[in-house]
Amino acid sequence: MKFLDGAPRFLFFTGKGGVGKTSIACATAITLAGRGRKVLLVSTDPASNVGQVFGLSIGNTITPIPAVDGLSALEIDPEQAADAYRERIIGPVRGLLPDAEVASITEQLSGSCTTEIASFNEFTELLTDSGGQIGEFDHVLFDTAPTGHTIRLLQLPGSWTDFLNDGKGDASCLGPLAGLEKQRTVYAEAVAALADPQRTRVVLVARAQKSTLAEIARTHRELASIGLARQFVIINGVLPSPADDDDLLAAAIHRREQRAITSMPDELRSLPIDQVELKPSNIVGLTAIVSLFTSNTIVSDRPAQSDLDPPYAPLATLVDEIASAEHGLIMCMGKGGVGKTTVAAAVAVALADRGHDVHLTTTDPAGHLTETLEGSLPNLQVSSIDPAEATRVYRDHVLATKGAALDEQGRATLAEDLRSPCTEEVAVFQAFSRVISESRRKFVVVDTAPTGHTLLLLDATGSYHREIARQLGSRHFTTPLMRLQDRELTKVVIVTLAETTPVLEAAGLQSELERAGIHPWAWVINNSLAAANPSAPLLRQRALAELPEIARVRSEYADRIAVVPLLATEPVGIPALEALTGAGQQQDA
């Protein structure tokens, strides 16, 4: 593997959600530990599953992996980090300030922006601790969150350095600025470590798909612009050339992947590139991880045609039930890379085809609805909640309203406060709230961001609800959270894959939603090989492994289920999306 040659101390693995960053990071950690190096594997992903890969609980402390000498792991848990961060700020003043003022500070520190800053502080400590516990490790590997969150995280050292240098800003999420002044040196050191190719290497992970390769091309440009120029590419899960063309699905997938690889952007082609073959089983457990970087995997000939009973649960059945309500909010949620955008677009197109007024939107910073649709329908509105645009609109509105009566110095102070990165959280939340309100008169289909980001957005929704309830008391009101909790109005659709880790993560998402009083309406298992009924041995072995996961979803988690087969061609464009919700070929259940 080229990316392992002369590996520096810090390695970052980034890319679109669902491409296998965690598996690649874990396999890299094991490989380096096998060379006698002392390795720390760190996850900065709010939806981390490093612990699931190794079959043990890791959490927010450095945890040795017993099965691998020299390897330890750490998961930066956003909520734990936020709790500790809040206590560092509030603890010293508790008992010194009036209770009401302490309560006010606590409320100011309850938002998702505080969670991000707290995670960022732990992140910078890992980059700059050369003499403490972290200094004992030869390599520190970062299994990062999906692309949008990763870019934000990597920009923060520079952003917050500029923020502290340029003005006093807004202490509502950062805490007392006097306590942050001492962080200037740490932030500067973090920026230097990120930009130094002798210390840091970025590994862009993709699948052999046009969309994920385009995503890492964008990531390449964005990271290079903030000084992280030393980059490598891994194309994961590449289907080996089929032994024959008897399986039309396998042959079509192989041709599609090879076309995507040969036509990748030139800026990626100039980087060192490794390919990792698709394996016959899911990459869960130490044995599977160790085999990830090997090729010519032996595939069992055992799967026979009679072994596989393809599941039949068409997406059209869910659309029929949704359409009967005449209006409502449909939110497609799940881990990045499971196909939320495709499912959301297919549902929206099907509803529009039936004559309904539909608004299809995305809260995913890396979402690309227009690329999936490749067209338009008369009664289908398509939009994106763009964080930068939402923030600009919010700033302009605040300056035009609250700032109208201020003098020049007051407006300058307000403008300075609005330059805080925390403003984005408020702006995106308001845009999200406006979209939700439309569902009272039309269908609104939301393609959400990857799980961790979505939960932070819902957390902001809950905080707003609690504040409104406190202010209005017994008076009648309706908040966005109340609309999300309304089963008659809102249908949450969890999208996943028929694999162990995605199902576990989807179950975790369902648990989080239910704690917020939001019960998922249906599950969609996307890109199912079992539903496609392949004949090639490697694909058939993977298809057989899906059946227990599909049965588990039916019996343990989902009130309703749809299983969407893996297709020979990617479902891009309105005709292909319409085909996903067509009647299809009837099969026995």
Catalytically annotated residues: 18, 20-23, 45, 501
Cα–Cα distance, 80 to 86 (Å, whole number): 10
Cα–Cα distance, 447 to 454 (Å, whole number): 10
**Among 199, 150, 242, residue whose Cα is nearest residue 10:** 199
Angle between helix 340-353 and helix 315-323 axes, rounded to 10 deg: 50
| Whether 240 contacts 277, CB under 8 Å | yes
Cα–Cα distance, 313 to 540 (Å, whole number): 19
**Residue 108 burial (CB count, 10 A):** 19
Cα–Cα distance, 364 to 175 (Å, whole number): 28
Q: Which residues have C-beta within 8 Å of that of residue 296, sequence separation ≥ 6?
A: none
Cα–Cα distance, 163 to 156 (Å, whole number): 10
**Residue 563 burial (CB count, 10 A):** 24
Strand partners, 236: 207
Question: Edge-to-edge strand order for the sheet containing 71-75?
Answer: 63-64, 71-75, 39-43, 139-143, 10-14, 200-207, 231-238, 273-277
Kind plus residue range of the DSSP H or E element containing 71: strand 71-75
| Whether 489 contacts 519, CB under 8 Å | no
| Whether 340 contacts 495, CB under 8 Å | yes
| Whether 219 contacts 147, CB under 8 Å | yes
289, amino acid identity: I
| Whether 69 contacts 60, CB under 8 Å | no
